[in-house]
Structure formats: structure tokens, C-alpha cells
Amino acid sequence: MESKYNFNISSFQKLFKIEHNWFHIKRHFASVSKHLTYRKIKNLVSVEMQRRLKTPVIKGYPPFLKLEPTNLCNLKCPNCFTGSGADKRGKGMMDFDLYKKVIDEIGDYLIKINFYFWGEPFLHHRLFDMISYASERNIGSCVSTNFLIFSEVKAEKLLTSGLDHLIICFDGVDQKTYESYRKGGSYRKFIRNMEILSETRLKKNLYSTIIDVQFLVFDYNRDQIEEAKKLLIPFGFDRFTPKMNAEQKDPYDPSLFRPNVPCYWLWLVPTIGWDGIVTPCCDMPPHDFGDLNKHSFMEVFNGEQYVKARRLYKYDDPEKSKSICAFCHRGPNEKYKKKLAGMNFQGPRIFFSDTKRPWE
């Protein structure tokens, strides 16, 4: 039975037409709320209004950012664009000066940066400098990691960097189960790194980072959820988050395709690849919407590719478009979305293969 609490939440979401589910709102709220200022709230409300009005050229700045420190990874997770080998971009790490250029341009309006995309962020040798640079400007931060590249030195740097939210990923309580998804990962090393983090936190009394341990739930590890929860108790971390449906076996439910609702990625959350290429989202393969090595951030964010994609919701015909957004479950092409209905949840991920990319 639906509780009163759930009812209130869903009413609140309906009233304000919030698309993100409560799982995401709850998960990120603490690290977002403490960085709000009058200027940021004003910008957020303004850009959100423009999204609802389907304005193609935005007056204002993105309130959130997804940023890829690197697309290198130490593992080969099968559902990942990098781990599966489908990412054909060159490999590399974001240049620190390029990162600073972006933050100096739009940082006054940024509420939060998620420092992860396709790759293991802890492989970037200046990740903690990036986080500190954001933190000094009152920008919230989150990192998601497989947590295998770690040490005592890194533990102290992490806990003093100003990082708001650390998501640590593991999916099994023994080596065999763990490496079913985390291909090439050592369960022993993972547990040792958890001990290092827990001990450093306790010894130095550093508690400002929310430590959130995520467990991707597959059929083969469903029976280990309770055991994983118990295993984590001695570490004293803040959250345990089982993430359901990791196998994404369910077909697309057509009721989820809300007709002509402008995609929040296009207005609110741009993504920057390690090489400075801006791409619209992480729902589809990286796509070149503009190069920050040649242009300012706002030139790209209101550049030809972004405006073309936003226009599809109100002004242009998505069925005649070759924009990547016309081939997406969040996009404006209702006919195409009907084709996706009933397909496996990994619908867009079929485009990870080289052969099926209708926008190219």
C-alpha cells in the first residue's frame, strides 16, 4: 500500500512537474542544497522556465554540469560504454587549464558538478585539485568510482578536498560475484580500500563527504543485498544504495515517454568530455555539440547543435531531423519513440555498436 509519505512526495512532484524520480532527488539533495545562493536559485528557476517554454536559445547558465575527468578505466564492466570497448574516442585526461576556463566562465551559477561520465575518475592525477577548485567557488561535487585506485594519501586528499558526495560502486560480497560485473577487479583490494577510507575518516575526524555505497542489483546478486548491507556496518559510511534493474531487462514502457516534454539534459545539465567536447547527455553515446578548446562554454551551449536539438520540441519537425535527440527515448520524435516501445530497456545502448547510429 502506498504510504502517506509517498503520496505527498508524488503530489509534490506532480504539482511542480518534476521529472526526476524521488530516488535521485533524495540522493543528491543534501549536496545540492548547501550550495544554493540567491543568484543560483534565480538562474535555476529562469532556465527551468525556459525549458518548459521550449526556448531554443537560453538566457542564463546551466545550473548543473557533468564532467569527465578521463575516459580511461581499470575495469571492463560489460554495460559500460568504456568497459565494453564501444567508446571509439581517443583516450585521455582533461587538461586542468581547460577545466579552470570552464569553471571561471560559468562557476558563479553552477550548483553542482558530477565528476564522472565514461571512465574511472580516480585515474585523473588532479581530480582532487579539480574538486577543490569547485569547492572554493561554492560549487557542489559528486564522484562515482569503482574505488580500486586508492591509498592512504588519496584518502586524506579526498576527505579534505571539499567533495560533497562520493558514490562507491560494488556488486558482490565475494570475488566471484564481484567480478561478474566488475571485470578485472579485486574484491580484496576493494575491501582494503574501504578500510583505508573508514580509518582515515575516523582518525582525522573528516566527515563532510557523504559516503554512499551503491550496489547494482542483478539476478545473480539479488540474494546478497542483505549481506552487503551487514558487511558495510563496521565501516560507518552514510548510505547503502541498492540500484535496482541493473540488467535493464524490462521493455520500454510507453507510458514513460511523456509526449513533448523537453529533455532536462538539453537545458539544465550539459556534459563535457575529457577532450573538451560538449555532448548533450549520458543517455546516448557521446556526440559532438561543440569544442571548448575553440569556443567559450556559452558559445557552445547556445551554439548550432544545441539550438537545433531544442528547436525540435516546438519549431522544427523531429521526423526530418538528423539530431541525435530525434533518436532518443527522451526526445521529441513521437513516432520514433513508438518504435522504442516494447524494446529492451537498453534501447539507446544498441547505438553503442558501430553499426546503428541513424543520426550519422
Residue closer to ligand SF4 by CB (options 247, 283) is: 283
Residue closer to ligand SF4 by CB (options 60, 285) is: 285
Name the one range near ligand SF4 by CB under 6 A: 2-10, 18-26, 151-159, 321-329.
321-329
* Interface size with ligand SF4, residues (CB under 6 A): 13
Q: Would you give the DSSP letter of residue 62?
A: -
102 binds ligand SF4 (CB under 6 A): no
Of 28, 308, 330, 349, which lies in the binding site for ligand SF4, with binding defined by CB under 6 A? 330
65 binds ligand SF4 (CB under 6 A): no
Minimum CB–partner distance for residue 284 and ligand SF4 (Å): 4
Of 80, 94, 127, 266, which lies in the binding site for ligand SF4, with binding defined by CB under 6 A? 266
Pairing type for strands 271-272 and 278-279 reads antiparallel
DSSP letter string over 35-58?
T--HHHHHHHHHHHHHHHHT-SS-
Strand partners, 210: 165
Residue 277 CB partners (closer than 8 Å, separation 6+): 286, 288, 289, 290, 291, 292
Of 115, 265, 274, 313, which lies in the binding site for ligand SF4, with binding defined by CB under 6 A? 265
Name the one range near ligand SF4 by CB under 6 A: 103-111, 149-157, 262-270, 297-305.
262-270
The dihedrals phi and psi of 226, each to the nearest 5 degrees, come to -65, -40
Alpha-carbon span 188 to 146, nearest angstrom: 13
124 binds ligand SF4 (CB under 6 A): no
Considering only residues 292 to 311 of the shown chain, the ones binding ligand SF4 according to CB under 6 A are 309
Minimum CB–partner distance for residue 61 and ligand SF4 (Å): 17
C-alpha cell at 291: 569544442
Distance between first and last Cα of the chain: 47
Residue closer to ligand SF4 by CB (options 242, 280) is: 280
Per-residue CA distances from 228 to 118, 217, 262, 300, 309 (Å): 26, 11, 38, 44, 43
285 binds ligand SF4 (CB under 6 A): no
263 binds ligand SF4 (CB under 6 A): yes
40 binds ligand SF4 (CB under 6 A): no
284 binds ligand SF4 (CB under 6 A): yes
Name the one range near ligand SF4 by CB under 6 A: 12-20, 73-81, 226-234, 281-289.
281-289
Residue closer to ligand SF4 by CB (options 143, 263) is: 263
The dihedrals phi and psi of 156, each to the nearest 5 degrees, come to -70, -40
Residue closer to ligand SF4 by CB (options 245, 260) is: 260
DSSP letter string over 108-152?
GG--EEE--SSS-GGGSTTHHHHHHHHHHTT-EEEEEE---S--H
Minimum CB–partner distance for residue 253 and ligand SF4 (Å): 17
218 torsion bin: left (phi>0), alpha (psi -120 to 50), beta (else): beta
Residue closer to ligand SF4 by CB (options 116, 133) is: 116
267 binds ligand SF4 (CB under 6 A): no
Per-residue CA distances from 160 to 36, 40, 122, 270 (Å): 21, 25, 15, 27
Query: Mapping DSSP to helix (H, G, I), strand (E, B) and coil, where does residue 69 land?
Result: coil
Q: List residues binding ligand SF4 (CB under 6 A).
A: 263, 265-266, 280-281, 283-284, 309, 324-325, 328, 330-331
